Every structure is written in C-alpha cells, then in structure tokens.
Amino acid sequence: MKSLTNKQPLPQEHFYKICVVGGGMTGAIMALLLKKSKLFNTNDIAWIMPNIKIPNDLRTTFYNEESIELLSKLNIWRDLKKSDYTNVKKIQVFGKKNTTPLIWNNSNKEQNFGAVVKNKVMLDSIFSKLDDIKKFENFVTNTTCDNFERTLYFNDKHYIKTNLVLCADGKNSQLRKLLLIKTILKKTGHIAISGFLEQSKDHKLTATQAFTELGPIGLLPFENKNKINFVLSVEETKYKKILSKNNPEQYICDKLENFFSNLNLNFKPIKKINNLNNNLSSWPLDLNFIINPTANRAMLIGDAAHSIHPLAGQGLNLAMRDCVSVLNSIEESSKFGNDLGDISILNSYKKDRLSKTIAMTAITDFLFYGFASNSNIAQTILSKGMETLNKSKLKNIFSKLAAK
C-alpha cells in the first residue's frame, strides 16, 4: 500500500468571471477597481499574485494629478499620511548643452503636478482593501481557450476557468508569452540605477530631469527639503565602471555636482533612509513595444502591454489609465448583454489605449535617443530647440500628454 504522503494532489478547478494576473501595483489597482465597480461581486473576481517579496523596498513613484484623482475616488489617498508623499509643484528639464532648463511652474498653491509616493506605503494601503478578494499565490504555467472560457493552469496543478483574464505581470510577462502576443523588443543598452541622495539646497518640491554626460537622470523630491530619489540611466559599460568604484554613490554625486556647477548645487550619499540601509538598486532597460495588447479572452495592462523609458516618470500613470479603460470597455459592452470575452470589449480597449501609448512611447524615445546622443550637432540643435520651446506655449503639450 502506498503511503498517503506519496499521493499526488488532485487537480482542482475554480471558476471566476474575471481574473487579474500580477501582484504588483498595476494588478492591485486593477483588482480594486473591479471590486469598487458595480459590475462584479467580490466572489466574481480572482487575483493571481505570486508571493515574491522585495525586502526593504524604498522606491518611489510619481503620480500625476489624474492618477491622484483616481486614487481619491478609491479612498486610497485619504489613507496616506503627509509623510508618505511629497507634492510636486515644479518640473524642470536640463539638456546637455544648455544652462536654461525647460520649466513648468505651478503658481497655484492649491494645485500640484502630482506627487511622489513611497511604493510600499501605496501597496500596503491598496492590499488592505482587498482582503475579501480571492487570491492565488501561484505562477501561471499554461493557458488554453475555448468559445466560452479561458483556462489558466498553475504550477501546483490547480487551474482557473474565467471569462476574461487581465494580464498585469510586468514587462517580462510570462502570460503574454503563453498568449503568443507579438512583442517588439527594444534593446537600449542601458541599465537603470536608483537610490537616494542629499543635496545642498532645498528641492522646493521640484522634479528634475537632467541629460548628463553620465546619462539621463531623474531627481524626485523626497520627504524633507534636501532628500531626493534618483533614477539614472547609463550605458552598460558606464554601469560597470560605476560599480567598480569604492564608493559608487559618491561617484554619481561628483558627476551631478559637475553638471549643476553653475547652480552651486552639491550632493552627498545617504547611508540610511527611514532606518533602512540605502543600497543602490539596478535593472536592465530593455523595453517592449506591443501593437495588439489583446488575445482571445485576454487583455494586457501596464508594463505587460507597454514599457517606456523611466525618464518620463509616466509608466504607472499609463498603467492606471489602462485599468480605467478596461473597466469602461466592459461597462459599455455590458449594456448590450455581451459576454466578457466579446470582441467588442477587446477592440474598445485597444482603440482607446493604443494611440495614447504610442504617443507617450514616441515622446520618451525622442527624449532618450536625442539627448543621449553623443553627437555635438544633435546636442546643439536640441539645446537651441529647448530654448525656443521654453519661450512658447507649445511646451505645455508635454505636460498635457504626461497627464494621459
């Protein structure tokens, strides 16, 4: 007789009307939107979220005003303490060869361009509102589809049947591969480095984008008047050079001080943030471009549907617009009694989001490849163009697009 401990678990089937795959910020926001809508009961929704813990996550994200308005409607913003976020009143962009930046300045004391929020704080707040949503801490290993349902198979032999799956498992999405959705890989040859620094002057709630010789770097205001969270994009060879230094953070500070020498702005490393060690984090900046973010009974959202260069700080804002578009497409189609997998829902979502995604991708690619170019002629043309743009109302086009 075989021991009971040697018996293989029998496959178990579960059915949910709609299923979200991905345990990050996009997946969490999508799950909460579905719960808050009047379209589904809580037991209609499943959330597949592999249990991957990121220790000591100090990273932050910029939320534009439209995203903050959405978070307010979801009762998320009211849960945050003032120490959890930093408002952004001013945005400035420095080119390589010009000392006068492009500037967007909000003189209205009651309005902001957005806010910088700690990722862990935001996730914890959203997760606390999803206790009654069924969660599966599994990886999807395969998927099939028929005329009525899509089936998602897990690594533990269980499986889910659903009318519609929303794929939010990131730019390296495993489910996107299983769905055979064509993806154009854009290799930038750059690595992103992120960390925290202290600067000698009050940041005055200013978000800065600087195209330095080292690479494009974003400086986001953080907590008190002198701390900043930076994201630097560098070529792989420069990345290795930085890491080979005895003090990589000080090397980055020295490069920033040289770039901002005309402003007498100094920088220094920070050993601890909120009593946690301030270690540099890094990740490759290989990006994806996807023409059709849909498949039978499936839609891609967030980084699974599009990944753009972080220099614009708009990745999650785009993802939140995806989530809203999904809900709008379902709501519109449901008026006619259509099934959740109806082609009208997929087409409505694709029509709404694809043009906006392409526009933001084009802008970030132009900024990245243009300002990252080592051509003196290109830099001179771009610098002159920025000077002209700064004097005209056309620069507001960029801030308008950033809110979409």
Instruction: Render pLDDT for 68-89 as a digit per residue (tens, 0 to 9).
Output: 999 999 999 999 998 889 999 9
Average pLDDT over residues 328-334: 91
Which of residues 368 and 304 earns the better pLDDT score? 304
User: What is the rounded distance in angstroms from the CA atom of residue 327 to the CA atom of residue 93?
Assistant: 35
Query: What is the average pLDDT value for the chain, to the nearest integer?
Result: 84
Residue 55: predicted pLDDT: 57
CATH topology of domain 13-402: FAD/NAD(P)-binding domain (3.50.50)
What integer pLDDT is reported at residue 3 of this predicted model? 43
pLDDT at 376: 58
82 or 48, which is more confident = 48
Per-residue b or e along 309-326, where b marks 16 or more CB atoms closer than 10 Å to that residue's CB: bbbbbbbbbbbbbbbbbb
pLDDT class of 5 with cuts at 50, 70, 90: very low
Q: Say if residue 378's pLDDT is above 80.
A: no
Helix intervals (H) in 24-118: 25-36, 65-73
User: Could you tell me which residue, 362 or 148, shows the higher pLDDT?
Assistant: 148
- The yes-or-no verdict on residue 403 having pLDDT over 50 is no
In contact, 213 and 376? CB cutoff 8 Å: no
Higher pLDDT, 100 or 62: 62
**pLDDT of the residue at 201:** 93
Rounded distance, CA 398 to CA 359, Å?
11
**pLDDT given at position 325:** 96
Write the pLDDT tens digit of every residue in 238-295: 999 999 999 999 999 999 999 999 889 999 999 887 777 788 889 998 888 899 999 9
Q: Which two tokens stand for residue 387?
A: 């000077």
| CA 198 remoteness from chain centre | 24
What local confidence, expressed as pLDDT, does residue 397 receive? 45
d(CA 40, CA 19): 11
Domain ranges in the chain are 13-402
pLDDT band at 299 (very low <50, low <70, confident <90, very high): very high
pLDDT at 379: 52
Beta bridge partners of 142: 153
- What are the tens digits of pLDDT across the range 146-205? 999 999 999 888 899 999 999 999 999 999 999 999 998 888 889 999 999 999 999 999
Q: Which one has a higher pLDDT value, 17 or 271?
A: 17
